[in-house]
Every structure is written in structure tokens, then in C-alpha cells.
Structure 1
């Protein structure tokens, strides 16, 4: 920090870095410290709510996100609205969540696109096309470890794999080649895809399809025990 720099800005930057790196507990503590020094710091309050969301503290996150709503008659912030939608989605309140995503899109359509919602048949059609396009080694792995589609990750999954947050796109569950990754989940060896999250990962079916392919390559890479060089060979490095 330079002599002229604002210590609150430095704290905010530190918290944002921890959040981006997936260090949610650390980020939460940093934003709590910042809010003690500046209770009116709107950005820190929003990021604090986001940390709670990513730590599965959904009720607290929703309360904090809603406390940041503007007074009646003033335009809401699309980032706040989107976060509220993400929290509601994690709570299984899908219709309310889509209402929030619609409002964020109304406020700022360029930066807050609508989710690419697909019914079960459409999603399966997209998945089948992606599976057919995977490298042979991955297609063979799919015969041993099937793909299961779930709407969202759950708190119960996170109890077995603490690194999992409500926004992950996919998850390998089971025993990788030579390593125990995740046990006691109620599943056999499977790769889970989370449809609601994937639908928000792109602006079109084509982009969702691309994210689905990348996710499958990563998760089957975990199963096969691929290192960084092998992942790079698949185009994931």
C-alpha cells in the first residue's frame, strides 16, 4: 500500500482477491473488517452477502442482499438483483430467482443476460451432442461413470465436499483412478451436471453447450487422474 492509498480501498481489493480465489471465509472476514470501519460501504456489504451465499449461509445472504435494496422509486442495482436471484436459486425458489434475473436483465440487458432455460428434453439433446463430441478416452470413461443431471448443487453435497459452492457447473463423485475423491454421497461413481448453473453460464445454447463440454472434460479428467499436461492436451490447460 502506498502512502497516498486509501486503506479501505486496499481492504476492498484484498477481499475481492480472496473472493475470486475461492477463499470465501477469508473474504468474509475482510469484508466484515471493512464494514466495521465503514458501515455504509455498499460494495463491501454486497460482497459480504455473496460470501455468505457461497458458504451455503443462504438465509443470511438473502437477508443482507435484500437490505441493500434502494428506497421505493429508485432504480435498483442489477448486480444486487442478480445476487438475490442466485441466492433464491440456491434455496430452490426457482420462479422467484428467475424473476430476479429478469429484473437484472431489464435494468442492464448488455451485462446481465437472461438464463438460457431449457426443458429436460432440450437439455438431454444438448448433452447427447456434447457427449458425442468428446475425445475417445472421455467417451469410454462415460461408459464406466455416467452423467447425472441435477438442478443445483445442495448443502448435503457440500457436507461431503467442502470446496463445493452453489454456483459450480459440475462435480465428479466417487473414486478416481488411484485416489479417493468423494465418498458417502449416496451416489455411485458419477459426474453430476447442474442444469440451472449451466443455463446461466452462457448467452445462447451454443455457449451453454461449450461450457457443458468444458465441464465434462474437467470432471472426467478428475476421474481419470489427468495432470495439467494431459488436460492441456484436451484443450483445458
Structure 2
């Protein structure tokens, strides 16, 4: 486990976000990206182990929308403590933040777990 302040972690999430391709950034206009310390009990129960859930996309993927009415903002949550506990170096944590953000953005865009693993974001 490494140490990284909440402020520094958020800064790294913002850097990873800023490095997304422009065509992806344009599609994320109605998506909130937030950092939380841990998954809540509902998220951990739904998705599996509390310690290994690094991020979660909450919403309707673009590929499943019918276009009726403006949707509520979708959310991508990046969980700070599970990432820091899994990483041995700061560089590992920065990489995991980037991979996790890409993974959750992929779900927003309608990609499956298999698609994301194939692209190296699994």
C-alpha cells in the first residue's frame, strides 16, 4: 500500500481525464467523475470484493439509450483506498487510476468487460 493524499489522488484523476482523446471528452459532457474513499455496501455486494473494486460506472451506456428526454448525469466513481492498497509505488497508482478511468469510460461508451480486457483496460 502506498500513501497519497486525497488532494493528490484527485489531481491524478483529473490528469488522467485530461489525457482522454478529444472525441471521447466530447461524449462525457453529462458524466460526473467523482472520487470516493471506498465502495459502499451496496456497490461492494453488487460488484464483488470491497477491496478490489477500483471504479464503478453508474448510468445507461450510450449504446442503450433511446433518446427520449435528457438523462440524469451518469457517474463514474473512482475508489481511492482500494487502488492505493493494491499499488506498491506511486507510478503504479497513477497507472491504475488511468486504467480504471478508461475502463469505466469504456462502460459508458457501451463496451463489455471482454472488450475492455482485449484493449488492456480490464
| TM-score relative to the length of structure 1 | 0.42
In the alignment, structure 1 residue 206 sits paired with structure 2 residue 95? no
Greater C-alpha Rg = 1
**Where does 1:64-143 land on structure 2 (aligned, <5 Å)?**
115-143=1-29
Higher share in strand: 2
Q: Flag the structure with more relative contact order, 1 or 2, with Cα contacts below 8 A and sequence separation at least 6.
A: 2
In the alignment, structure 1 residue 221 sits paired with structure 2 residue 83? no
Please state how far the C-alpha of 1:118 moved relative to its aligned partner: 1.7
Please identify runs of 4+ aligned residues in structure 1 that moved more than 3 A. Answer: 227-237
Which consecutive residues of structure 2, in runs of 5 or more, have no partner in the other structure?
A: 66-71
Q: Distance in 1 between matches of 2:111 and 2:86?
A: 24
After superposition, the CA RMSD in angstroms is 2.7
| TM-score relative to the length of structure 2 | 0.76
Please state how far the C-alpha of 1:128 moved relative to its aligned partner: 1.7
Q: Is the 8 A contact 1:130 1:213 kept in 2?
A: yes
Q: How many residues get paired? A: 115
In the alignment, structure 1 residue 166 sits paired with structure 2 residue 32? no
CA pair 225-199 structure 1, distance change in 2 beyond 3 A: same
CA pair 229-151 structure 1, distance change in 2 beyond 3 A: closer
Higher share in helix: 1
